[in-house]
Structure 1
Amino acid sequence: MIKQLLPIITMAVLLCSCSVYKRYSRPDDLHTADLYGDMTSSDTASLGQLPWRSVFPDRKLQTLIERGLHNNSELRIAQLRIDQAEASLKAAKLAFLPSLNFSTTGSASSIDGNKATLSYHVPIEASWQVDVFGRLRNAKERGKVLVENSQAYRQAVQTRLICSVALQYYSLVVLREQLVVLEQTKDVWSEMVRAMRVLMETGPYNDAAVSQAEANYNGVCGSISDYRQRIREEENALSVLLGEPVHEIESGSLEGWRGIDNVLVGVPLLLLSQRPDVRQAELNLAAAFYATNEARSAFYPSITLGGNAGWTNVVGSIGNPGKLLLEAIGSLTQPLFQNGRLRAELKIARARQEEAKIRFQQSLLNAGMEVNNNLTQMQTYGEKAEFYAAQVSALERTIRSTRFLMENGSSNYLDVLTAQRDMLSARLSYLTNIYNEISAYIAIYQALGGGSD
């Protein structure tokens, strides 16, 4: 029996040199050098390579992120995608093994009322596809790529979740800091209105001055109500992001904010390729590469070895007892005419591979742009912070001076009101600028593919 299969086995061995299986490598014509300008650095240490606990040291924020990672529904769905991809990969690996089937048949027959004759067939059937042209190996490699793709998707979801929680957390922190400023300003205006009413009775102020002060006081009170509403909305949004019912969320202060000094972006291509979306784009290209190989291997013959082994009493006669049955089968199938289907599938696979390559290069360009923009923004907001701090300090001196002059009759109430209004605006702008700097910092971390445990 084995001798009869030797020609087919010999042909399979000889054809192995014709395999169309090749491992994926990044295309040579994919230009990625010098795409990111002055981002290049000799130091490959990067913000994106740090674990998220090092990037966000605030313990209250860390607790929220941990709860989000545990409860978030999109992250759980991403894990299920990994499970599905791993199951598909396992099936692709098992395709290299022979398949076994156990099929028992039996019958009873009687002619003209004679005694029934029993017949039976108890075989174990085996078949094995010889992967001469790499069809199964291409399918297995594509399965590996799809597993990595699903893992990259999960990393992208995790990174986005961590950065979204951090962003909303600091939005909540800044809103509460601004609310404190407004409440302090409200107390100042309340005291000013009281003092001006007293002074109006002695002559220095008229009703117009007091009314203007009262209008400013009521305006601040209205802003406090608006900020309290915004804080509640931020708490609600953050609760949903954490996968929890809406509830009040405890937060720290801006004093606990600490960014990583001297943020390094490292070697552009090395770091940007760590971004989950860029990794997904290249993995899609790799999957398309193996799909093209599969489509090309469909033009070559497929070789299948099979056989049966079992007991039967239906070979040559229908009498008992049963006999041992051994059967070997070898087949070689060469596609000849498939109505253009194989050529069409290969053309489609090549087009999809080229599309994936274009998308990969564009993802690198987009990633480089995002990192550059966010890095520039963070530097800009850092510079502006010094100017806002100087502005607040100057307005504090202005308020003290105008108040002193007003109390001594050398200045009018409008100067004091204007100084107080400018002071409120400057303090709120200062806090907003800090939030913008934090946002840019978080955006850089996300753009560099951060979010690892």
Structure 2
Amino acid sequence: MMGAPPSRFRHVLSRHMLSLAGCAALAGGLGGCVDLAPKYRQQHYMLPDNWKGDGVVQYGNPQDGVSRGDWWQVFHDSTLDELEERASRLNPDLQADAEAFTQARDIVAEAQSNLYPQISGAASASQNQASSHRLWRGAGSQGPIYMSSEQYSASARWEPDFWSGIRNRRRVQQRLAQAAAADFAVARLSIQSELANDYMQLRGMDAQHAVYLDSIRYYQTAVQITKMRQAGAIAAGIDVSRAQTQLSSTQAADTDLQARRAVMEHAIAILANVAPSDFHITPRSQISFPKVPAPVGIPATLLERRPDIASAERHMAAANRAIGVSRAAFYPHVTFSATAGFMDNGFTLDKFANGMYNYAAQAVLPLFQGGLRRAELQRNWSQYRQAEDQYRATVLAAFKDVEDGLSLTHGLDTEATQQAEAVQAAMRTQNMTMQLYTGGLTNYLDVVVAQVAALQARIAEVQVETRYMQAQVELIRALGGGWTTAELPNNRQIRPFSPLQYTHLRTPKAVKGVNVDNGPESYDLSGKGFQDGDLTGTPKQR
């Protein structure tokens, strides 16, 4: 049993403990009462009432039209659906961005930890022996030359947040974590739109390949006709050479196209987390994507739908809170600390007389630092204004993206109609000149000119259709792909774990679709998980 302490010792201890408790209560009552950050107001700009760009425009609310998170499904292509779903889960660049968000959440937890008392424990043991002939030890001295020491103690340190400096540091990191979540959404939308763009380009190449094959069959027939006419002494050998030149150059162009298609296929494979050597998409003979009237809404809704705008706004909010941190540095910095434990030269630590303790309160006020605090405050104000400028630049860039998309979709839609008329005229000319040549009414040079014009017109038609589909993808991306600011995590969701949680720390729970645990499928680069026939090389019924 621990011996009872003397009454005077108890009195002194009680008085000091009450004093410390009183200081703590006072600090607790005052801590966080003063927030020195300026009141944050999100910038409100005078925006146009309508979009200038013409095109397939349908006004609506942000949640209308394109599906949130799976906007690519509006193109009704099962292969594209499967590729996008896989890229959204397994793309390595996107997973790295998810980890950046996780790290931002942990920085918030680090900043928040300073609001709590910092408690630690310590234990030590030592054995010490001095020389019997050490300096200043007189002859016949009976002082000890051997001693042991054992002790254990606990200490606590707490900084009351009088001026909300700690809280504002936490709020800075919370807003930066929200910005990281928006950056993840930007990266995800970028990868999804890049994949859709590449896929549209690949299907356009397939359609061009079909045009080349059709033209090659036509040119092969033309070569046979010129050879027959040469054999009958009706045409000169130059006609055969011209026909053969047209055939061979078209075959070479088709070979080059197939090489570029293979490169595009490799790019799609990488986006879908598949090794290119194990990846193939079965060609199709024509483009079969529908036209999608994207609901663009009024210009003001764009501020709620673009993740890059949300990221810029959160950086501006973080810069606003950083001003409060700099202002708090002008005021006294107060800390409380206490240590208690036992120490003895043996293992009789259960005696109250072997107890030890100390407690302290400290306040530090900066008096003169050569302008250090003022420089920090001015720098933070400058950073806030810089964040405002960057936010405005992001908003302007977003408006440009939408206007570009509207103008391109409108222009390419009109161009596609005009190009279709050009193809019809070129095909009529090609057929008529071949008939005239076969009847001996014109030379083969006219046939070659008509063939070149027809081929160029047909290839241009496919290219315009491809660019139109890509412009639709870019317009959807410019509108945010169905994303809204409601998908940003709130402060409670950002916290990766509770202060007393010590398990399940390797990977945090997914927040607002940001998941860092994708299992072993992330390491399977063979693409065996694909079920679509187009991706396995097996033709699929459509």
Q: How much has 1:307 moved relative to structure 2?
A: 2.5
Q: Identify the residue that residue 366 of structure 2 maps to in structure 1.
A: 335
Higher helix residue share = 1
What's the offset of the Cα at 1:208?
Answer: 2.5
Which of 185, 193, 196 aligns to 2:223? It is 193
Give, as a single letter, the amino acid of the residue that structure 2 aligns with 1:67: R
Alignment partner for residue 94 of structure 1, among 113, 126, 132?
113
Residue 373 and residue 48 in structure 1: after superposition, are their counterparts in 2 closer, same or farther (change >3 A)?
farther
Provide the residue aligned with 1:257 in structure 2: 289
The 1:376/1:251 distance shift into structure 2, 3 A limit, reads farther
Residue 322 of structure 1 deviates from its aligned partner by 3.1
Residue aligning to 2:262 = 232
**Does structure 2 retain, via aligned residues, the 8 Å contact 1:103–1:122?**
yes
Residue identity matched to 1:4: S
1:196-275 equivalences in 2 (<5 Å):
196-247=226-277, 248-251=279-282, 253=284, 254-260=286-292, 262-275=293-306
Amino acid at match of 1:43: G
AA at the equivalent of 1:79: A
The one-letter code of the counterpart of 2:221 is E
CA distance in 2, matches of 1:18, 1:402: 88
Distance 1:167 1:129, change over 3 A: same
Q: Distance in 2 between matches of 1:319 and 1:109?
A: 22
Change in 2 beyond 3 A, CA 1:201/1:140: same
Q: State the shift of 1:251 in Å.
A: 4.5
The 5 A counterparts of 1:303-452 are 303-312=334-343, 322=353, 327-450=358-481
- Residue 48 of structure 1 deviates from its aligned partner by 8.3
- Number of residue pairs matched by the alignment: 447
Report if aligned partners of 1:130, 1:304 keep a CA contact under 8 Å in 2.
yes
Report how far residue 282 of structure 1 moved.
1.5
Which residue of the partner structure matches residue 205 of structure 2?
175
Q: How far does residue 186 in structure 1 lie from its aligned partner after superposition?
A: 1.0
Tell me how far apart the structure 1 counterparts of residues 114 and 392 of structure 2 sit (CA, whole Å).
34
- Whether 2:82 is the aligned partner of 1:67: answer no
2:27 touches 2:162 (CA, 8 Å); kept in 1?
no
Distance 2:393 2:266 in 1: 36
Q: 2:48 corresponds to which residue?
A: 34
Unpaired segments ≥5 residues, structure 1: none
Please point out which of 50, 60, 67 is paired with 1:43: 60
The equivalent residue for 2:493 is: none
CA distance in 1: counterparts of 2:211 and 2:398, whole angstroms? 38
- CA apart distance, 1:418: 2.4
Local SS of the residue matching 1:310: strand
Indicate the SS of the match to 2:159: strand
Contact 1:162 1:451 in 2 (8 A): no
Deviations 1:371-424 (A, max 9, x none): 101210111101111111122222233333333444444444333332222111
CA distance in 1, matches of 2:145, 2:260: 92
Relative to structure 1, the CA distance from residue 190 to residue 322 in structure 2 (aligned partners, 3 Å threshold; closer, same or farther) is same
Q: What SS does structure 2 have at the residue aligned with 1:103? A: strand
**Which one of the candidate residues 189, 206, 223 is aligned to 1:159?**
189
Q: Deviations over 1:14-46 (max 9, x none)?
A: 68554314564314xx53523975379852236
Task: Pick closer, same or farther for the CA change 1:252–1:258 going to 2, 3 Å.
Answer: farther
Q: Is the 8 A contact 2:433 2:442 kept in 1?
A: yes
Alignment-derived partner of residue 19 in structure 1: 35
Structure 1 position 343, deviation (Å): 1.2
Q: CA deviation at 1:255?
A: 4.1
Residue 229 of structure 1: how far off its partner (Å): 1.6
Distance 1:336 1:13, change over 3 A: farther
Higher mean C-alpha deviation, range 155-164 or range 119-128: 119-128
Question: Could you say what secondary structure the match of 2:368 adopts?
Answer: coil
What is the CA–CA distance in structure 2 between the aligned matches of 1:11 and 1:154, rounded to whole Å? 40
Q: Which amino acid aligns with 1:276?
A: P
**What residue is the counterpart of 2:19 in the other structure?**
4
Write out per-residue CA displacement over residues 304-348 of structure 1, whole angstroms, 9 at most, x where no aligned residue.
Answer: 23323434569xxx9965355565433322222223211111111
RMSD over equivalenced CA pairs, Å = 3.0
Contact preservation (8 Å) 1:48, 1:449: no
From the superposition, tell whether residues 255 and 221 of structure 1 become closer, same or farther in structure 2 (CA, over 3 Å): closer
Whole-angstrom distance in 2 between the partners of 1:11 and 1:155: 42
**Contact 1:304/1:331, CA 8 A, preserved across alignment:** yes
Shift of 1:356: 1.1
- In 1: Cα distance, 2:472 partner to 2:48 partner: 24
Equivalent of residue 154 in structure 2, options 108, 112, 124: 124
Partner in structure 1 of residue 12 of structure 2 = none
Return the alpha-carbon distance in structure 1 between the equivalents of residues 182 and 350 of structure 2: 64
* Higher mean C-alpha displacement, 199-208 vs 162-171: 199-208
Which amino acid in the other structure matches residue 305 of structure 2?
Q
Mean Cα deviation higher: 413-422 or 292-301: 413-422
Are 2:208 and 2:462, in contact at CA under 8 Å, matched by a contact in 1? yes
Indicate conservation of the 8 Å contact 2:334/2:364, yes or no.
Answer: yes
Secondary structure of 2:338's aligned partner: strand
Q: Which residue of 2 aligns with 1:135?
A: 165
Kept in 1, the 8 Å contact 2:343–2:354? The answer is yes
SS in 2 for 1:104: strand
**2: CA distance, partners of 1:312 / 1:100:** 19
Asked if the contact 2:175–2:318 (Cα under 8 Å) also holds between the matched residues in 1, the reply is yes
SS in 1 for 2:189: helix
Q: Report if the CA contact (8 A) 1:179-1:224 is conserved.
A: yes
The 2-side partners of 1:329 and 1:321 are apart by 21
Structure 2 length-normalised TM: 0.74
Distance 1:347 1:48 in 2: 45
Q: CA deviation at 1:12?
A: 6.7
Match of 1:80 in 2: 99
Aligned mates of 1:358, 1:435 — CA distance in 2: 37
TM-score (norm 1): 0.88
Quickly say closer, same or farther: Cα 1:320–1:432, change in 2 above 3 A.
Answer: closer
Output one character per residue of 1:198-221: Cα deviation in whole Å (capped at 9) or x when no partner.
Answer: 123334322222222222122212
Contact 1:309 1:327 in 2 (8 A): yes
Which residue identity lines up with residue 153 of structure 2 in the other structure?
A: P
